[in-house]
């Protein structure tokens, strides 16, 4: 799955992440198997996604270096109704106590990310 998400870091190893980590950042996102790849540069990301679909280009997924790489195989994504500031936010809980909040563009996208992350 390919799309756009904003993310903030909530917990690191079970502890509230420092203030520098807590602001929202926008990413282009690829979920490939259980790899969740986050790319900061939107225009660059869009051009690479176009290249991936273009058989005349030799771009492959493995040549793209994400700014953030999360392995989701042991993680759980869930809708968190205790978080009310923004809509379409889900929580990703990772095995070593890291938790992230992700904001999708709409409800269908949020549900699709949750499903695909949990079943990847």
Q: Which residues bind ligand I3P (CB under 6 A)?
A: 8, 19, 22-24, 85
CB of 9 to ligand I3P, least distance (A): 9
Q: How many CB atoms lie within 10 A of CB 87?
A: 12
For ligand I3P, the nearest residue by Cβ is 23
CB of 77 to ligand I3P, least distance (A): 17
Residue with Cβ nearer ligand I3P (19 or 56): 19
118's enclosing H/E stretch is: helix 107-119
Residue with Cβ nearer ligand I3P (65 or 85): 85
How many alpha carbons fall within 13 Å on the CB side of residue 70? Answer: 24
C-beta of residue 97 within 8 angstroms of C-beta of residue 12: yes
What are the residues whose beta carbons fall under 8 Å from the beta carbon of 96, sequence distance 6 or more? 13
Residue with Cβ nearer ligand I3P (22 or 57): 22
CB of 79 to ligand I3P, least distance (A): 15
Q: How does DSSP classify residue 18?
A: P
Question: Residue 13 region, left (φ>0) first, then alpha (ψ -120 to 50), else beta?
Answer: left
CB of 58 to ligand I3P, least distance (A): 39
Residue with Cβ nearer ligand I3P (23 or 106): 23
């Amino acid at each position: 799955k390919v799309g756009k998400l904003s993310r903030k870091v909530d917990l690191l190893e079970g502890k509230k992440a420092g203030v520098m980590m807590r602001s929202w950042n926008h990413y282009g996102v690829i979920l490939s198997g259980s790899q969740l790849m986050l790319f900061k540069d939107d225009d660059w990301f869009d051009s690479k996604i176009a290249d991936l679909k273009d058989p005349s280009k030799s771009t492959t997924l493995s040549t793209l270096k994400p700014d953030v790489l999360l392995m989701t195989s042991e993680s759980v994504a869930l809708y968190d109704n205790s978080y009310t500031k923004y809509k379409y936010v889900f929580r990703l809980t990772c095995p070593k106590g890291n938790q992230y909040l992700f904001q999708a563009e709409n409800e269908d996208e949020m549900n699709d990310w949750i499903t695909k992350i949990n079943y990847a």
